[in-house]
Amino acid sequence: MLANQLWERTCERLKKIFSAEVYRLWIARIKVLDYESNNLSLGVWDEFAQLWFKENYVSALEDALREITGESITVQVQVVSFEDHSEPSAEQESVPPKEDPAQNTDNQQNSAPAIPPTVYTPRAAAEVQNVLNPKYTFESFVVGTNSNMAHAAAMGVAQNPGKSYNPLFIYGGVGLGKTHLLHAIGNRVIDNAERAGKQVRVVYVTLEKFLNEYIEAVREQRCERFRRKYRRVDVLLIDDVQFLTGREGLQEEFFHTFNELYNSNKQIVLTSDRPLSEIKKLEERLVSRFSWGLVTDIQPPNVELRMAILKQKAKDMHFQVPEEVCTFLAQKIRANVRELEGALIRMGSYINLTQASWSIETAKVALQELLSRQVAQAPNIEDIQKKVAMTYDIRVSDIISKKRPANIAFPRQVAMYLSRELTHQPLIAIGEAFGGRDHGTVIHACKVVENQMDVDDNVRDTIQKLKNELEF
């Protein structure tokens, strides 16, 4: 069968499986690239689409292909250039009508003197620095599985503002890089515009600042100016929208600004330290608008990513931090990236003052307060598996596999034991995480390990060391 034929038939099936919306936004936009030796290559428009597609649709697609051909066909998704990045034209129909008649009665719109909005052109580069932090770029953002979706979506938005995911809503706990990504979008949009010799208006504002400006504008009866400023931007980056909580006047204003920008295909990116459902007293109509585009989150980084971030930051700050100190910090400071960065800066200045060396001892002294504030957090099973695999010099995939040779079986039992001791997971969940074993296997593993610890000092020491490193 030819690639196109196969794809057409697959699409017919997918139409029945997915909602019309999903079909139109995702499936219908796909390009078929190639079909050869049971491999179907598909092209999507950006990295985010690639990730999203892989995570959400590939397995359904492979099922459909199997049903059609009776063979198992692997689907590959790659990013290719799409000349037309815009969504299918049907999308236009779903753009809601303007709901605010008042905003059109702005008869001063053309006659009032233009206030300088935050316009960024090549010549206004200095202004950029005041608002957008030039250090917060995509290049300086260390991506891990905790943030790859948000990162890819942000890149997609920066490359094609207003055209791919609008609005983009990024949420996640404090210090996990939301503001960094928001600035990175702004910086990239401006870079691209500069390169193309175009003008672009990018405004980055915290919701708090937006609120203050609004209050001031109301007080000084300069609402029109305020509106014009925000409603003529190309890319509006609003940080920390959780502060919308309960602020009715502001929500109203925000709603209209949002509509105006959205209806003219301007890009809006919002961040929040919690999901939409947890922003109290957020009007239903705002919740619904914020979810129109793409909602994506950033999770706390795991220990490897914390290591990677520390190394990157140390390099940026020109600190020579030995591996063991990085490991120590990455293990101890788990909550967020801001604290990791803070630890490095604080330790750096301490060392500068005292001429101490970069050592764990120094870290303990310089970061005493920070370290004591760290709430003990249970390591997760994945962390444990990785740590055990490293210690016993085997692969994580071996630990999860069905293989039984002793050099794998015992470390696997150790990992199960540590999972029971250190995580608060039920035995069933632990078994599940070890390649779908049952809870009886976990209980057995724990007994084996406990017995070994009684009879073999080496085993006891190794496990004690593992425990110390995993928890603190």
Considering the complex, state which of residue 64 and residue 298 has its C-beta at the smaller distance from Mg ion.
Answer: 298
Encoded amino acid at 321, one letter: V
What residue 231 binds from Mg ion, ligand ADP, none (CB within 5 to 8 A, per partner kind)? none
Cβ 55 to ligand ADP shortest distance, Å: 20
Tokens of 278: 């947890």
Considering the complex, state which of residue 177 and residue 431 has its C-beta at the smaller distance from ligand ADP.
Answer: 177
Cβ 329 to ligand ADP shortest distance, Å: 14
267 belongs to the binding site for Mg ion (CB under 5 A): no
What residue 398 binds from ligand ADP, Mg ion, none (CB within 5 to 8 A, per partner kind)? none
Matching residue, tokens 């949420």: 171
Cβ 143 to ligand ADP shortest distance, Å: 7
Considering the complex, state which of residue 140 and residue 362 has its C-beta at the smaller distance from ligand ADP.
Answer: 140
What residue 452 binds from Mg ion, ligand ADP, none (CB within 5 to 8 A, per partner kind)? none
Cβ 330 to ligand ADP shortest distance, Å: 13
Considering the complex, state which of residue 178 and residue 313 has its C-beta at the smaller distance from Mg ion.
Answer: 178
| Helix (H), strand (E), coil (C) string for the chain | CCHHHHHHHHHHHHHHHCCHHHHHHHHCCCEEEEEECCEEEEEECCHHHHHHHHHHCHHHHHHHHHHHHCCCCEEEEEECCCCCCCCCCHHHHHCCCCCCHHHHHCCCCCCCCCCCCCEECHHHHHHHHHHCCCCCCCCCCCCCCCCHHHHHHHHHHHHCCCCCCCCEEEEECCCCCHHHHHHHHHHHHHHHHHHHCCCEEEEEEEHHHHHHHHHHHHHCCCHHHHHHHHHCCCEEEEECHHHHCCCHHHHHHHHHHHHHHHHCCCEEEEEECCCHHHCCCCCHHHHHHHCCCEEEEECCCCHHHHHHHHHHHHHHCCCCCCHHHHHHHHHHCCCCHHHHHHHHHHHHHHHHHHCCCCCHHHHHHHCHHHHHHCCCCCCCHHHHHHHHHHHCCCCHHHHHCCCCCHHHHHHHHHHHHHHHHHCCCCHHHHHHHCCCCCHHHHHHHHHHHHHHHHHCHHHHHHHHHHHHHHCC
Site residues for ligand ADP per CB under 6 A = 136, 140-142, 147, 172, 174-180, 309, 337-338, 341
Considering the complex, state which of residue 331 and residue 336 has its C-beta at the smaller distance from Mg ion.
Answer: 336
Considering the complex, state which of residue 140 and residue 425 has its C-beta at the smaller distance from ligand ADP.
Answer: 140
Confirm if 79 and 50 have CB atoms less than 8 A apart.
yes
Considering the complex, state which of residue 162 and residue 172 has its C-beta at the smaller distance from Mg ion.
Answer: 172
CB-nearest residue to ligand ADP:
177
What residue 43 binds from Mg ion, ligand ADP, none (CB within 5 to 8 A, per partner kind)? none
Considering the complex, state which of residue 177 and residue 411 has its C-beta at the smaller distance from ligand ADP.
Answer: 177
Of 356, 409, 363, 414, residue with least CA distance to 384: 414
What residue 180 binds from ligand ADP, Mg ion, none (CB within 5 to 8 A, per partner kind)? ligand ADP
179 belongs to the binding site for Mg ion (CB under 5 A): yes
Cβ 295 to Mg ion shortest distance, Å: 17
Task: Pick the piece of the chain touching Mg ion (CB under 5 A) from 141-149, 178-186, 408-416, 436-444.
Answer: 178-186
Number of residues that bind Mg ion (CB under 5 A): 2
Cβ 350 to ligand ADP shortest distance, Å: 19
CB-nearest residue to Mg ion:
179
Contacting residues for 335 by C-beta, under 8 A, at least 6 apart: 173, 175, 300, 374, 375, 377
Establish whether the linkage from the previous residue to 167 is cis, with ω within 30° of 0: yes
Considering the complex, state which of residue 46 and residue 339 has its C-beta at the smaller distance from Mg ion.
Answer: 339
Cβ 295 to ligand ADP shortest distance, Å: 16
Provide the residue count of the chain: 472
Burial class (CB in 10 A: 0-12, 13-18, 19+), 388: buried
Partners of 434 in the beta sheet? Answer: none
Encoded amino acid at 226, one letter: F
Cβ 133 to Mg ion shortest distance, Å: 11
Cβ 176 to Mg ion shortest distance, Å: 9
Distance CA 151, CA 417 (A): 36
Cβ 95 to ligand ADP shortest distance, Å: 30
What residue 341 binds from Mg ion, ligand ADP, none (CB within 5 to 8 A, per partner kind)? ligand ADP
What residue 412 binds from ligand ADP, Mg ion, none (CB within 5 to 8 A, per partner kind)? none
Cβ 340 to ligand ADP shortest distance, Å: 7
336 belongs to the binding site for Mg ion (CB under 5 A): no
Task: Pick the piece of the chain touching Mg ion (CB under 5 A) from 135-143, 171-179, 243-251, 425-433.
Answer: 171-179
Considering the complex, state which of residue 303 and residue 445 has its C-beta at the smaller distance from ligand ADP.
Answer: 303
What residue 49 binds from ligand ADP, Mg ion, none (CB within 5 to 8 A, per partner kind)? none
What residue 177 binds from ligand ADP, Mg ion, none (CB within 5 to 8 A, per partner kind)? ligand ADP
Considering the complex, state which of residue 140 and residue 441 has its C-beta at the smaller distance from ligand ADP.
Answer: 140
Residues that bind Mg ion (CB under 5 A): 178-179
